[in-house]
């Protein structure tokens, strides 16, 4: 087994013992954090910290409490992630969503370096894992999320297309428009005329 694969295997294996960290699917916005926080409070489950896709508990969660939490999360459209590879993929998605939709920092970054640094794994392994489980490549997932953010900003109507292109790290308005049309079938201008129709929620991406 190559060194990179050993590192990946060890990291996933080691997470089995990080049982005070629980991973939750479909946490994609600040409202989701508030919703999960309320579920934990209702079940009297204390937590150290909570962020998109992840909750840190002070101690290991007892099986009965974990079952109750699983039921409570499902009733609100969330779910616990127990499979380690699925946890990795969900972390990748969460990092992308958080960076594109909820960060005030610019997006002039190298995604491969950013994801690899955050998850402490080789990007080649992560990208391959994502593609093997999801129906699209990780690169296409990023493009889809950026397009959804473009749609949001067009709906808000507070920025020019040039400002949107700069904020999302596009090299030019033309590049943004071409990528947007390739995915949506419309130019940003055409989309703006059909606003409020059939916009995907982040949970469905």
pLDDT tens for 122-141 read 999 999 999 999 989 999 99
Residues 15-30 have a mean pLDDT of 76
DSSP assigned state of 134: S
Spatial strand order in the sheet of 54-56: 49-51, 54-56, 21-25, 79-81
pLDDT-based confidence at residue 188 (cuts at 50, 70, 90): very high
> Does 195 score more than 90 pLDDT?
no
Q: Can you give the pLDDT at residue 157?
A: 87
Residue 200 has pLDDT above 80, yes or no: no
Q: Looking at the domain 3-134, which fold is it? A: Alpha-Beta Plaits (3.30.70)
Tell me the pLDDT of the chain averaged across its residues.
86
Cα(151)–Cα(157) distance, integer angstroms? 10
- pLDDT tens per residue, range 71-122: 999 999 999 998 889 999 999 999 999 999 988 777 889 999 999 999 999 9
What residues does each domain of the chain span?
3-134, 139-204
Distance CA 124, CA 135 (A): 17
CATH class of 139-204: mainly alpha
Long-range contacts of 64-70 (CB under 8 A, 24+ apart): 68/43, 69/22, 69/39, 69/40, 69/43, 69/45
């Amino acid at each position: 087994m190559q060194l990179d694969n050993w590192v990946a295997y060890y990291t996933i294996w080691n997470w089995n013992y990080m049982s005070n960290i629980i991973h939750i699917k479909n946490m994609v916005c600040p409202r989701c954090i508030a919703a999960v926080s309320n579920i934990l409070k209702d079940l009297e489950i204390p937590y150290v910290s909570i962020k998109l896709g992840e909750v840190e508990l002070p101690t290991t969660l007892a099986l009965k409490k974990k079952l109750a939490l699983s039921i409570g999360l499902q009733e609100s459209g969330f779910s616990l992630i127990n499979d380690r590879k699925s946890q990795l993929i969900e972390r990748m998605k969460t990092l992308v969503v958080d960076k594109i939709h909820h960060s005030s920092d610019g997006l002039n970054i190298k995604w491969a370096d950013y994801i690899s640094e955050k998850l402490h794994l080789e990007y080649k392994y992560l990208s391959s894992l994502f593609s093997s489980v999801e129906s699209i490549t990780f690169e296409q997932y990023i493009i889809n999320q950026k397009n959804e953010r473009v749609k949001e900003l067009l709906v808000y109507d507070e920025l020019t297309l040039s400002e949107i292109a700069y904020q999302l790290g596009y090299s030019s308005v033309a590049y943004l428009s071409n990528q947007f049309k390739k995915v949506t079938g419309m130019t940003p201008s055409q989309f703006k005329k059909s606003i409020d129709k059939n916009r995907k929620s982040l949970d469905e991406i």
